[in-house]
Amino acid sequence: MEAFNVVIGKVAPMLAANIDTDVIMPKQFLKGIDRKGLDRGVFFDQRFLESGDLNPDFVLNRTAWRGAKFLAVGPNFGCGSSREHAVWGLKQLGIRALIGTTYAGIFYDNCQRNGLLAIELEEEKMSELASLLSSGPVGDVSIDLPTQKISLENNGDIKFDIDPMRKEVLLLGIDAIGSTLMHADTIDKFEHRHLKENPWLC
């Protein structure tokens, strides 16, 4: 998994509530057996016109936000389907972090497993950032995970919280399966007892 330390880039605003994973990655891109080529599918119905050309009005296609590495998102981002393709696609498009207030649970876990930093800000901090972004591009932004802050050119820093375990995994790019298998003996013991106590599970 790609580690996250300090990343600098543009932040594009996508502040509508309840942007679901069907919108982030439509169904026609779910037919693969690998993770390839999903960058094309991200926000497909909004990002492209029927002709196949880029939709010039879509936020990520506008000059100011082209190549953005961060999205400032509305509440409940990533709701709906469990499809991890949504997160794979965002990462392949070059998105490294999301800044919002709340995320749908499955989507949030999928971000964590793929090194996509999903920052949870308090509503007050988020609405300040949202109004700043709505007034126009803010230049490059730095997201510093070790010190837990978002730095805006000329507009100061925003501190964010993250629980220590998630932070460590993201900083080091730790493989979750590898770390869990270090508990293999404990799992064996638990399983042995659990199946003995609930023999119908065998």
User: Given phi > 0 = left and psi -120 to 50 = alpha, else beta, which region is 136?
Assistant: left
Nearer CB in complex with another protein: 27/66 = 27
Min CB(154)–another protein separation in Å: 26
Nearer CB in complex with another protein: 5/82 = 82
Min CB(107)–another protein separation in Å: 8
Cα atoms found within 13 Å of the Cα of residue 38, Cβ hemisphere only: 23
Nearer CB in complex with another protein: 55/142 = 55
Nearer CB in complex with another protein: 26/141 = 26
Nearer CB in complex with another protein: 66/189 = 189
Min CB(81)–another protein separation in Å: 6
Place of tokens 């300090």: 6
Min CB(36)–another protein separation in Å: 10
Nearest to 21 by CA among 72, 112, 93, 84: 84
Q: Which amino acid is at 120?
A: E
Nearest to 132 by CA among 108, 158, 109: 158
Question: What's the Cα-to-Cα distance from 71 to each of 103, 164, 180, 186, rounded to whole Å?
Answer: 13, 23, 31, 40
Binding site for another protein (CB under 8 A): 15-18, 20, 22-23, 26-27, 30-35, 45, 74-76, 79-84, 87, 102-106, 109-110, 113-114, 163-165, 176-177, 180-181, 183-184, 186-187, 190-191, 194, 198-201
User: In the chain, which ranges are E strands?
Assistant: 6-9, 11-14, 70-73, 97-100, 117-120, 141-144, 149-152, 156-159
